[in-house]
Amino acid sequence: ITSTLAATDTAVGYLRSLSPVDSNYVALKQELKKYLRFKDTTFATIPYIVAKEGGVAKNIHLIGERLQLLEEIGAQYTASDTLTPTLMKAINRFRTNRAIPVSNELDEETMDALNWQPQTYINKLVVNMDRLRWRTANKKGASYIAVNVPDFTLEAWNADTFALKSRICC
């Protein structure tokens, strides 16, 4: 620790050097920055909508607007009450990022997730970042299996070579 501290110019530099560089941690950190912009915001509830891709239903435009706000769909997207392929692709990306099964129609689980408040996401991200911060590093050349329960995935490593990633049921 003292050699690392001596190698940095400031205490801030030293503290930054302690931040994990794991790709999952970095991704969570980026997502947290996005949600911290809304920490004092209360999202309006989007009513439950039943529709399949290509269908038209009242208030679908609210989903498009929410996904634009959350940067899940591009700013050039024009919200409408049609469940377009572009919107469906963004909804499925939103689902994948939250371990919700993808499909070509809206469902209750997706609508619930769209209605979560920013603080809910912030709390989940902070907890998962803390969990990743304390994850032990594996020794070089080690073979192991890592199970990520929140993400519903299993990873197998063989002597530092990524061998397999699989969805699991927990």
pLDDT one-digit tens code per residue, 107-141: 999 999 999 999 999 999 999 888 888 776 666 67
Give me the pLDDT at residue 123, please: 95
Give me the pLDDT at residue 2, please: 56
Q: Helical H runs in the chain?
A: 2-7, 11-17, 23-36, 60-69, 85-96, 108-114, 118-133
